[in-house]
Amino acid sequence: MRAFHGHDTMPTDTLAARRNTDRPDALAAAWVFGYGSLIYKADFPYLERRPARIRGWARRFWQGSHDHRGTPQAPGRVVTLVAEPDAVCAGMAYLVTPDVFRHLDHREKNGYLRQATELCFGDGGRAQGLVYIAGADNAAFLGPAPEREIARHIAAASGPSGSNRDYLLQLAAALRELGEHDPHVAGIEAHLLALEDDAPRAP
């Protein structure tokens, strides 16, 4: 959100310039970048929703899920971000009020911390935002494994939020809908579908 100071030039369209500042709840709003289930499922109110990308982070199914797509006894595998200098991660950005961060902090309490990042929008615009990342030092972190092994793991897991399989397939579909290709997600999805094709069916 931009404020105009004495030395700035006021744009001729003051209605447009005021669009954000005349919404009281927008005064404290911030962008949150979603790269997992947040892409397709926003269970919170938002002021704006825009496809976006962040640089320097790669999406990986390296985080254990004890409370959504698995259980403490049999954790599922969900996405986190891993620092990779040349990587670009595509997702969805939401402009939200601070109460939404309280909601997300609670929803994503299984290892995720907020971190500042720069968002790049499709029209070339940029903004500072926050993203939830589960680092290698959290107790639920599972780390890398071959994609076929990750697919086997996901095929077998489920938790209070549903099957781990549906989480993967919904994420893969949401990325396709955005016109984005993530080789890691697409590779695991292909393995999972192949495993299901190979599985013996009930007579």
Interface residue with ligand BEZ, options 31, 35, 57, 61 (CB under 6 A): 35
Stretch that binds ligand BEZ, among 8-16, 31-39, 117-125, 162-170 (CB under 6 A): 31-39
Stretch that binds ligand BEZ, among 36-44, 82-90, 121-129, 145-153 (CB under 6 A): 36-44
- End-to-end alpha-carbon separation of the chain, Å? 60
Please, what is the minimum distance in Å from the beta carbon of residue 96 to ligand BEZ?
A: 12
Tell me the backbone φ, ψ of residue 190, rounded to 5 degrees. Answer: -60, -40
Q: Which is nearer to ligand BEZ, 61 or 132 (CB)?
A: 132
Three-state secondary structure readout of 40-104:
CCCCCCCCEEEEEEEEEEEEEEEEEECCCCCCCCCCEEEEEEEEEEEEEEEEEEEEECHHHHHHH
Does 36 contact ligand BEZ by CB under 6 A? yes
Residue of 108, 118, 177, 180 marked active site: 108
179 to 91, 129, 176: CA distances (angstroms): 11, 22, 5
Tell me the backbone φ, ψ of residue 175, rounded to 5 degrees. Answer: -65, -40
Is 108 marked active-site? yes
Does 108 contact ligand BEZ by CB under 6 A? yes
Tell me the backbone φ, ψ of residue 62, rounded to 5 degrees. Answer: -115, 5
Q: Which is nearer to ligand BEZ, 71 or 115 (CB)?
A: 115
Please, what is the minimum distance in Å from the beta carbon of residue 184 to ligand BEZ?
A: 15
Q: Which residues are annotated as catalytic?
A: 108
Residues that bind ligand BEZ (CB under 6 A): 34-38, 104, 108, 112, 132
